Amino acid sequence: MVFLLNKQYDDSLTYLSQLEKSQTLTENGINIKCSCLYQLGKVQEADELFQNTIFTFKDPMYKLEMEIIQCEHTYHSPDIESKLLELYALTKDSRNFENYEFVLDRLISYYEDKITLMNWIYSN
């Protein structure tokens, strides 16, 4: 979705709400909507969407992606690393490049943050 890639979260939500009027969102659509809501700071609304839909997901990759997005924005889960590694194991042999890029970006960011924190701790 172009809006999400360009970080135009409001436009993405507008597009998704128009789409929802005529059809049910796919798992990917729900992921995108939840991610946009978190990015816009609408944590309560995003958490509600997460809680209402996470157990209906049939695709384990989308379910893990949504759990990771929720962890990143609400800090509810200390095991984000295990979820990232689980998603990486699912996607590394997959042809779903979108999922693969998602998990690689998140892993790189996660480990960069850990390294920065460790460097700060050891330098002080």
What single string gives the DSSP state of each residue in 52-83? HHGGG---HHHHHHHHHHHHHHH---TTHHHH
Q: What span, in angstroms and rounded, lies between the C-alpha atoms of 95 and 24?
A: 25
The CA-atom distances, in angstroms, between 64 and each of 84, 86, 89, 110 are 8, 8, 11, 16
Please give the structure tokens belonging to residue 25: 């969102």
pLDDT > 90 fraction of the chain, expressed in percent and rounded: 7
Average pLDDT, the chain: 82
Say whether 24 sits in a helix, a strand or coil: coil
Q: Which of 7-11, 22-26, 76-80, 99-103 has the highest mean pLDDT?
A: 22-26
Say which CATH topology domain 2-123 has: 1.25.40
Whether residue 82 contacts residue 92, with contact meaning beta carbons closer than 8 Å, is answered with: no
Burial environment of residue 90 by CB neighbours within 10 A (0 to 12, 13 to 18, 19 or more)? middle
- So where are the chain's domains? 2-123
Q: Which of 25, 26, 32, 43 is nearest to 3 (CA)?
A: 32
Angle between helices 60-74 and 80-91 (to 10 degrees): 150
pLDDT for residue 57 is more than 50: yes
Higher pLDDT, 99 or 76: 99
